Chains A and B, each alone.
Chain A
Amino acid sequence: MLKEWPLVAFTVLGQTAVGVFWFFHLPFLVRGRLPAYGWRLAGLVVLAVVVLLTALAAAVSFFHLSHPFRARRALGNLRSSWLSREILSELLFLALAAAAAWLDGFRNPGPELERALLAAAGLAGLLFLFCMTKVYMLPSAPAWRRISTPLAFLSTTLVAGAVTTELVVRLAAGPGVFEIDLMPAALVLIAVEIALAAVAAPLGGLKGFRPAPSLRPNDGPPPFLHRARIVLLAAGFVSVAADIATGGNDIMKERGAGPFLILAFLFVLAGEIAGRFHFYGLMPRPGDRRA
């Protein structure tokens, strides 16, 4: 399970990237107008962060390959492999986000083009998320082939996305420039994820659902991972609340990324990582339980 760390890193980083992209751009795309001038710098930084996270995700995924130099062939089975499709969708998202950043930074694209590009990147992110989910919704993997998998991936996207976006924006653009405050949303999303995790426990989602018969051992990941996930998310929740209570994003106050926001980011990230290790622990590799 711990040896699945490259996959943990890949999924958490990729999902965070998509979340950041969505949270930053969705308001503008929905409202039909592009960010105001003061936003250009913040937008550029956010796009750079998205590109960086996505590229990092791609890079780290090489660590779980024994033959990374053969990996260029990994797009070879789009016809039937969700893994190929996942890689393609990730590259698509990365390319579109990078193109948007490049245009933003070095060209001056027209608003139509920029909106189209951002919308396309947003949809590619959705596709990426969808493919990532499908990779694990294997008919042979009942422990994963459940609603909890897309819910887990989506909540990582939203929770980590919200907190990371808030952090990046406040660091990059300074206080008072973001048009919406993501912290209340983060508060709600974290609460929802905690609730979902708590519900999964009594429903058996902690050990993985094994319809008898099965050729997978019926013991799941160590329970401390589940507990760690909930405790860390709860700590993130408290940090977000503290940030709000101390007026962390009060546009009238001159405050950047305060300590509570940084704490919230770290707790949330750690919680998501713990949750993801737990997720991989649901499906041991064949032979993993051998003496």
Chain B
Amino acid sequence: MAIRYGFFFDASACTGCKACQMACKDRHDLAAGLLWRRVYEVAGGGWRQEDGIWVPSVVAYNVSLACNHCQNPACALSCPVKAISRRDDGIVLVDAGACIGCRYCEWACPYGALRFDPRTGAVSKCTFCHDDIDAGGRPACVAACPQRALDFGDLAGLEEKHGRVREIVPLPAPGLTDPALVIRPHRDAGRAAAAGAAVANWEEV
């Protein structure tokens, strides 16, 4: 069976150190302002006073996200010039030379993975470091993680190893695009929705 590449992200181990994001920026020489991999800080819950003592019920964890190289890539489906394509191994790539810069895919992607690069006038996104993959290497983010909380590989293999969770707060429903993503949830993920947890670092992502 053909390989379909995907990412594994261990939210229970991620400290939010952003080494993955930085490795990506350095590997692909992204200017400040352009992020292919982002680390979303999820925070919620609150504090109540009991007998004069502040007691927390706070939810906090991180979600590191690049492009999920979806089976049904909303970006590619929405692109009027077919500048986004999906390889046989599932890697979704933008052809910057074909992109007209209409930026419609930015809205179409529910994960915010498509990012406009003012230097090229084209949208850009995670390439799964396909050059490195093809040469037998690893995506820069995976190789970077000090917590070994990121992995990549054939999606079926990742699912076998880590389960099939691919939806935790704040990610949208996976049915939209069928993302190639497997997540090991953080302990707080189960009560995140009830605690009203949401992305707390919009200014960083």
**A–B touching in complex (CB under 8 Å):** yes
Query: Is the CB–CB distance between B199 and A141 below 8 Å?
Result: no
In the bound complex, residues from chain A placing their C-beta under 8 Å from that of B169 are: 212-213
Q: Chain B nearest CB: distance from A283 CB in Å?
A: 6
Residues of B within 8 A of A65 (CB): 100-102
A residues 178-234 near B (Cβ < 8 Å) are 212-218
Most buried by A among B80, B103, B170: B80
Taken residue by residue from 97 to 119, chain B's Cβ proximity to chain A (1 for < 8 Å, 0 otherwise) reads as 01111111011111111111000
How far is it, in angstroms, between the C-alpha of A215 and the C-alpha of B174 when the chains are bound? 13
Please, how many angstroms separate the alpha-carbon atoms of A81 and B77 in the complex? 6
Of B81, B100, B110, B192, the contact of A215 (CB 8 Å cutoff)? B110
- Across the interface, which residues of B come within 8 angstroms of A70, CB to CB? 81, 98-100
Bound complex: CA of A73 vs CA of B79, how far in Å? 11
A66 within 8 Å of B (CB atoms): yes
Does A77 reach chain B (CB closer than 8 Å)? yes
B176 at the interface (CB under 8 A from A): yes
Chain B residue numbers with a CB within 8 Å of A215 are 40, 65, 110-112, 170-172, 199
A213 touches B171 (CB 8 A): yes
B156 within 8 A of A: no
CB-CB < 8 A to B111: which residues of A?
215
Return the chain A residue nearest B42 by Cβ: A213
Contact call A214/B170, Cβ cutoff below 8 A: yes
B113 — which chain A residues lie within 8 A by C-beta? Answer: 286
Contacts of A287 in B (CB 8 A): 33-35, 112, 115, 205
For B107, the chain A residues whose CB sits under 8 A away are 138, 140-141, 283, 285
Question: What separation, in Å, do the CA atoms of A213 and B80 have in the docked complex?
Answer: 28
Quick one: which of A135, A140, A216 has the most chain B CB within 10 A?
A140
Cα separation A80 to B116 with both chains bound (whole Å): 22
Q: Which among B115, B196, B205 has the highest number of chain A CB atoms within 10 Å? A: B205
Q: Contact at A286–B112, with CB atoms within 8 Å? A: yes
> Which A residues touch B102, using CB under 8 A?
64-65, 74, 83
Please classify the interface of chain A as helix (H, G, I), strand (E, B), loop, or mixed, using the class held by over half of its residues.
Answer: loop
When the two chains form their complex, are residues A286 and B115 in contact, meaning their CB atoms are under 8 A apart? Answer: yes
| B122 near A66: Cβ-Cβ < 8 Å | yes
> Quick one: which of A70-94 are within 8 Å of B by CB?
70-71, 73-77, 80-84, 87
Interface band, chain A: 35 or more
- In the assembly, what is the distance between CA of A214 and CA of B34, in Å? 20
Q: Is B50 an interface residue (CB 8 A)?
A: no
Asked if A67 is at the interface of the complex by the 8 Å CB criterion, the answer is: yes
Cβ-based interface call for A139 (8 A): yes
Residue-by-residue, is B57-90 near A (CB-CB < 8 Å gives 1, otherwise 0)? 0000000010000000010011111100000000
| Pairwise interchain contact A77-B79, C-beta atoms closer than 8 A | yes
- With a cutoff of 8 Å between Cβ atoms, the chain A residues found around residue B172 in the complex are 140, 213-215
B77 pairs with A80, CB closer than 8 A: yes
Q: Does A68 contact B (CB under 8 A)?
A: yes
Does B134 reach chain A (CB closer than 8 Å)? no
Instruction: Given A70-B100, A285-B116, A287-B115, decide whether A213 and B170 contact each other with a Cβ distance below 8 A.
Output: yes
Q: Are A290 and B80 in contact (CB under 8 A)?
A: no
A289 interfacial by beta-carbon distance below 8 Å: yes
Give the residues in chain B near A245, CB-CB below 8 Å: none
Instruction: Check if A291 is an interface residue, CB within 8 A of chain B.
Output: yes
> Considering the chains assembled together, what is the distance between the CA atoms of A76 and B99 in angstroms?
12
Given known pairs A77-B81, A139-B110, A291-B203, the reply for A213 and B100 (CB within 8 Å) is no
B193 on interface, CB distance cutoff 8 Å: yes
- Give the Cβ gap from B122 to chain A, nearest Cβ, in Å: 7
* Closest beta carbon of chain B to A70's beta carbon, Å: 5
Q: Bound state CA distance, A36 and B170, in angstroms? A: 62
Q: From B84, which residue of chain A is reached at the shortest CB distance?
A: A77
**B193 and A212 within 8 A (CB):** yes
Query: Are B78 and A82 in contact (CB-based, < 8 A)?
Result: yes
* B100 & A140 in contact (Cβ 8 Å cutoff): no
Q: Does B204 contact A (CB under 8 A)?
A: yes
Interface string of B140-171 (1 = CB under 8 A from A): 00000000000000000000000000001111
Determine if B80 and A76 form an interchain contact, defined as CB atoms under 8 angstroms apart: yes
**Interface of A toward B, CB cutoff 8 Å:** 64-68, 70-71, 73-77, 80-84, 87, 135, 138-141, 212-218, 283, 285-287, 289-291
Name B residues whose Cβ lies closer than 8 Å to a Cβ of A.
33-35, 40, 65, 74, 77-82, 98-104, 106-116, 121-122, 168-172, 176, 192-193, 196, 198-199, 202-205
For this complex, 16 residue pairs linking A to B, each with C-beta atoms less than 8 Å apart, are: A66-B121, A67-B100, A70-B98, A73-B98, A73-B100, A81-B77, A212-B196, A213-B193, A213-B198, A214-B172, A215-B170, A217-B202, A286-B106, A287-B34, A290-B205, A291-B203
